[in-house]
Structure formats: structure tokens, C-alpha cells
Amino acid sequence: MRIHIVVALYVFAFSFFFHLDRTQYAVLFLTFAAVFMGELLNTSAETICNRMAEHYDPGIRKIKDLASGAVLMGALFSLGVAVCLFWKPESFQLMLTYFCENPGMIVLVAAATAISLIFIELGPLGVKDKLFRKKAERGKHRG
């Protein structure tokens, strides 16, 4: 789920280079919602299945596979939406020009990417634990 959040944020941030209209943004947000809902339903199905079956069960396996397949279908159709909305070569040229004229923005994107990778790896609670653990350790050393 964390990777879907990061991808959605990047797609939204870069969408401004494509000058989408309100209807296109509505389609984009509905696409985000469909993928998020699929992921949430998949997680729910897996959690319920794990509580119901202590050992391997082919019926449970099928339920989990179908739920995962639903997420995959949502992701594939979101790719189709992306092609329809973002297949504008002139916008990619605009992006390239913007970043060449504003090299500081490349640093900002690189920093955001590093932070995103940490978020994907650790999750929000893992990031919080790392930050507060370091603060607590520094407080112990000072006292």
C-alpha cells in the first residue's frame, strides 16, 4: 500500500506538466481511489483468511489469489488511464526543459525520492520509531 501512496503522490506532482483539465483530474483521482480500494480489500481478505485457516487450505489460497488479482487488474487499468492522460510528448519536453533550467529541483526530487524509499521500506510507524528512538538515545547520552 505504501508504494501506491508514493506513486500516486509522484503522479499527482508531475501531472501539472500535462495541463490536465478538471475532468481528467477527476479520472485520475478515481483511478487512485480504485487502486487504493483494491489494495485495502485485498489486505482485508488476506487478514480474514489468515484468521480462519491455521494451515494451508486450497479454498483460502484461491480467495487470496483472487483478491491479489483484483489489485493487479486495478493497477493494469490504471496504467491504461495513465497512457491516455499522459501520452503527450510535448509535456515531457516541457518537463526536461524545466529541470534543465532549475537544477535545484533535481536535488529536491532526489531528496523526495530518498525519503519516499525510506517510507516504502519502513512505513509510517517504522519512520516514527526510528526518529523517536534516536531522539530518546540522544537524550540518554546528554543526561
pLDDT single digits (tens) 2-43:
888 888 999 999 999 999 999 999 999 999 999 999 999 999
Predicted model pTM: 0.73
- pLDDT digit string, tens, across residues 90-130: 998 898 999 899 988 888 888 988 888 887 888 777 777 77
- pLDDT digit string, tens, across residues 58-81: 889 999 999 999 999 999 999 999
> Among all chains, which residue has been given the C-alpha cell 540518554?
140
Cell numbers describing residue 35: 487502486
Report the alpha-carbon distance of residue 92 to residue 98 in Å, rounded.
Answer: 10
Determine phi and psi for 72, rounding to 5 degrees: -60, -45
